[in-house]
């Protein structure tokens, strides 16, 4: 359910009825999949509860789908009508443009200290934190227990075991022994998880100092292995990886047509609704467990334009209380971004919390996209559009990764200038 922010309403944010009255405007993404579980309900309830305790602050919330929310915020900022807060997918461009408050200007020390450190670190631009982690997830390998039992298989712990399991599943007639979604929907995620599992520790998209290393020897070896050992042997199903999107791969898993797929927490409910018996294990690496799981975080940020740092900080300190973080995480099957909420969830015996435990255990050591780089949006888009070509018939993993590296370096140079 979408509530559009009219420009006249936005402009009215500073024109309050009394000198102490402030209206905060929040734009947030919708994590629900229907009107019944729209994030709108969560935020409206949270705002109402906060306003009861703070009569001088009013919080107006607009919620947009993930297809629209980043664009909506950009349009508002470009028009000179930034919201006070935005909960969206990326923050670095706004930080680089000087439009955001540093987190230290907003949140209490107690709230700042409660965030999981990999997430706080990922929220930094030029060594200052501007992005406030809001929701997180990690990836694990889902496998169909029924199909594995039929083929007398154990879940894999290495790439060679994964390939052997996929071969056995193909022999049993499984449509997608390993579903490899490298289509444009979310290819950057599947790519990164495989890069993290490569030999020599697998570095992902960047090295330890944040320099792009997309065409490193290890990464080329990773995609060469994928092409030679999975794709060219017909172990990834009838749809070319470059044309298979994540949503289609998840739907096929829920329909019992997939032996293995790299997935995040939403697949739990999707598979369970269809009655698929599944298990999860850490994503294998070249010679053992991958160095890290890929983590994903979404971001909250405070815009400076309206000058409401104190009120923004007060509301966000409330929003990031343990109770409220747990409430949101449980409602949408996501991982808490704070230590206090994570510890409570980890100790819980509730079935829904226990189902998230494999993902939760990986979060403190997970590796996130290089979201602190203003070039990442362009690089991610290039990966989505091009990485599938590396595994196409006659495709060259080295050639595609080299071109992506050139794109990344050019984008990095442009964003720094």
Kindly report the CATH class assigned to 140-292+375-416: alpha beta
Within this chain, domains 7-137+297-368 and 140-292+375-416 share the same CATH topology: yes
Which tokens belong to 91?
């923050």
User: Under a CB-based contact definition with an 8 Å cutoff, are residues 162 and 194 in contact?
Assistant: no
As given in the structure block, the two tokens for residue 88 are 């969206």
Per-residue pLDDT band at 194 (split at 50, 70, 90): very high
pLDDT 10s digits, 223-232: 999 999 999 9
- Which SS3 state, helix, strand or coil, does residue 141 take? strand
User: Which 8-state DSSP code applies to residue 66?
Assistant: T
How would you class 18 by CB atoms within 10 Å of its CB: exposed for 0-12, middle for 13-18, buried for 19 or more? exposed
Tens of pLDDT, residue by residue over 230-286, are 999 999 999 999 999 999 999 999 999 999 999 999 899 889 989 999 999 999 999
User: What ranges do the domains of the chain cover?
Assistant: 7-137+297-368, 140-292+375-416
Helix (H) or strand (E) holding 409: helix 397-416
Beta-sheet strands, E only, within 145-264: 176-179, 258-263
Which phi and psi angles does 218 have, rounded to 5°?
-65, -45
Q: Which CATH class is domain 7-137+297-368?
A: alpha beta
Q: Which residues contact 308 (CB under 8 A, 6 or more apart)?
A: 22, 24, 84
- pTM as predicted: 0.84
Residue 341 CA to residue 349 CA, distance in Å, equals 14
What the block records as the tokens of 252 is 């096929």
């Amino acid at each position: 359910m979408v509530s559009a922010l009219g420009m006249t309403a936005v402009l009215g944010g500073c024109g309050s009825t009394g000198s102490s009255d402030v209206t905060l405007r929040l734009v947030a993404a919708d994590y629900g999949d229907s009107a019944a579980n729209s994030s709108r309900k969560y935020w409206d309830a949270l705002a109402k509860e906060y306003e009861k305790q703070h009569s001088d602050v009013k919080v107006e919330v607009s919620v947009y789908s993930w297809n629209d929310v980043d664009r909506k915020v950009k349009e508002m900022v470009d028009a000179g009508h930034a919201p006070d807060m935005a909960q969206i997918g990326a923050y670095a461009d706004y930080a680089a443009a000087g439009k955001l408050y540093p987190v230290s200007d907003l949140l209490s020390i107690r709230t700042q200290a409660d965030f999981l450190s990999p997430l706080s670190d990922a929220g930094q631009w030029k060594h200052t934190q501007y992005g406030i982690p809001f929701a997180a997830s990690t990836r694990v390998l889902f496998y169909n227990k029924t199909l594995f039992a039929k083929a007398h298989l154990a879940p894999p712990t290495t790439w060679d075991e994964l390939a052997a399991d996929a071969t056995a599943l193909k022999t049993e007639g499984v449509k997608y022994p390993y579903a490899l979604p490298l289509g444009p929907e979310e290819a950057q995620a599947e790519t990164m998880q495989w890069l993290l599992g490569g030999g020599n520790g697998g570095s992902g998209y960047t090295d330890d100092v944040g320099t792009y290393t997309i065409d490193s020897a290890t990464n080329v070896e990773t995609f060469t292995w994928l092409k030679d050992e999975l794709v060219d042997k017909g172990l990834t199903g009838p749809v070319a990886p470059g044309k298979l999107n994540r949503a289609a791969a998840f739907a096929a898993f829920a329909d019992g047509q997939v032996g293995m797929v790299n997935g995040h927490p939403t697949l739990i409910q999707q598979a369970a609704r269809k009655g698929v018996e599944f298990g999860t294990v850490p994503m294998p690496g070249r010679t053992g467990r991958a160095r890290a799981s890929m983590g994903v975080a979404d971001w909250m940020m405070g815009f400076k334009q309206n000058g409401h740092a104190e009120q923004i900080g007060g509301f966000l300190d409330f929003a990031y209380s343990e109770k409220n973080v747990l409430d949101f995480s449980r409602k949408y099957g996501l991982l808490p971004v704070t230590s206090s909420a994570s510890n409570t969830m980890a100790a819980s015996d509730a079935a829904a919390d226990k189902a998230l435990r494999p993902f939760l255990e990986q979060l403190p050591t997970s590796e996130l996209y290089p979201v602190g780089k203003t070039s990442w949006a362009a690089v991610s888009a290039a990966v989505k559009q091009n990485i599938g070509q590396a595994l196409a018939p006659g495709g060259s993993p080295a050639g595609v990764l080299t071109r992506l590296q050139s794109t990344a370096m050019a984008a990095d140079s442009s964003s720094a200038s």
